[in-house]
């Protein structure tokens, strides 16, 4: 495993990040433990979760995924220092008025609760799960700085931010002599290339590591035309997307067959080919899926294949404004 720096920091993480959103909703605790154990054996040291995970699809309520991670960490205390642990704050954690978003009040409380659920004394990367347009950066960064001083978090990241949100955050951080954002977690795949317009250029300019989520297009790029009897690929919204995108999917899977490479591996290799990308998030439901994902690290797509992929899944063609103006 060749480790990479997280953005402009000196922190080294694996080039694939273990996403845990399936833990609880689709993967039981025993299998979740097996996936995390195998990830460590394979050299993956970057684990990502969120405080709201576990609530989706009636799977034990908010915080359940963090609890599963906590029980895994408590089973063997040595595991904690072997991983870079990332979680998120923003989502709705209850019915009271201050149990969501990015007020200093909620950031402090949400952090304490995540620490308890994960049975750890610190979070390595604390990510804002979404932009909060009603809370000033002075308040947000004051809260984050306090958590850093207390040793409860080490780095701050963002997720689902627009490019101008990243720029605004970094300017506010600079005025406070604060490191600011070290990473941005954005949706990015062959299927969804919107961030090539502005978010990727912003990450490159500010030295912010890019952590793509859904790099296999929510299952669209995983060989979805094969019959699936379980997992997220059986959900109705995905099936509707398959029908809408069927000509592209057929062309994509045909190309993958021609180069004798699994569709999911091609999708991950394509994301990894972007030099701004730090570590795409994989979300295996089984150990077998995890072991399959690792194959992408050894795949180098030829220029000919990259051009064909651009034809099937076209992006904006350039960054803004050149993508739509001179």
Active-site residues: which are they? 53
Cα distances from 263 to residues 53, 132, 295, in angstroms, run 27, 36, 11
Helix axis angle, 163-175 to 199-206, nearest 10°? 20
Is the distance from CB of 42 to CB of 82 less than 8 angstroms? Answer: no
Q: How far apart are CA 40 and CA 18, in angstroms?
A: 10
SS3 204: helix
How many angstroms separate the CA atoms of 202 and 163, rounded?
6
Structure tokens at 57: 């699809």
Count CB neighbours of 278 within 10 A.
26
Find how far residue 271's CA is from the centre of its chain: 12
Q: Which of 180, 179, 144 is nearest to 161 (CA)?
A: 180
Distance CA 94, CA 20 (A): 21
Rounded to a whole number, what is the distance in angstroms from the first to the last CA of the chain? 42
- DSSP string computed for 279-322: -PEE--SSHHHHHHHHGGGG----HHHHHHHHHHS---SSSTTT
Strand ranges in the chain using DSSP code E only, listed in sequence order: 4-5, 12-13, 17-19, 46-48, 84-89, 123-128, 153-159, 181-187, 209-213, 281-282
Contacts of 325 (CB under 8 A, 6+ apart): none
Euclidean distance between CA atoms 264 and 254, whole angstroms = 13
């Amino acid at each position: 495993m060749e480790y990479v720096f997280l953005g402009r920091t000196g922190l080294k993480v694996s080039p694939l990040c273990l996403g845990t959103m399936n833990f609880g909703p689709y993967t039981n605790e025993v299998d979740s433990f097996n996936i995390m154990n195998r990830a460590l054996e394979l050299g993956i040291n970057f684990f990502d979760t969120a405080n709201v995970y576990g609530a989706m699809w009636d799977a034990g309520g908010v915080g359940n995924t963090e609890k599963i991670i906590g029980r895994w960490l408590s089973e063997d205390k040595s595991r904690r220092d072997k991983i870079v642990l990332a979680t998120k704050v923003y989502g709705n954690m209850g019915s009271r008025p201050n149990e969501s978003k990015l007020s200093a009040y909620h950031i402090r409380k949400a952090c304490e609760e995540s620490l308890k659920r994960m049975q750890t004394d610190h979070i390595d990367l604390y990510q804002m799960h979404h932009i909060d347009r009603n809370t000033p950066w002075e308040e947000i960064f004051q809260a984050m700085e306090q958590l850093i001083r207390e040793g409860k978090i080490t780095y701050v990241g963002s997720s689902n931010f627009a490019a101008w949100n990243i720029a605004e955050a970094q300017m506010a951080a600079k005025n406070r002599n604060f490191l600011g954002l070290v990473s941005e977690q954005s949706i990015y795949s062959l299927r969804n290339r919107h961030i090539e317009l502005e978010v990727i250029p912003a990450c490159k300019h500010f030295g912010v590591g890019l952590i793509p989520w859904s790099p296999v297009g929510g299952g669209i790029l995983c060989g979805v035309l094969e019959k699936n009897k379980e997992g997220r690929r059986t959900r109705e919204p995905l099936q509707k997307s398959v029908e809408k995108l069927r000509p592209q999917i057929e062309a994509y899977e045909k190309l993958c067959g021609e180069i004798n490479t699994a569709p999911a591996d091609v999708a991950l290799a394509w994301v990894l080919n972007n030099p701004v990308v730090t570590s795409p998030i994989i979300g295996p439901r089984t150990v077998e899926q995890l072991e399959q994902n690792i194959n992408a690290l050894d795949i180098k797509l030829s220029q000919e294949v990259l051009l064909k992929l651009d034809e099937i899944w076209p992006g904006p063609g350039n960054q803004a404004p050149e993508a739509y103006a001179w």
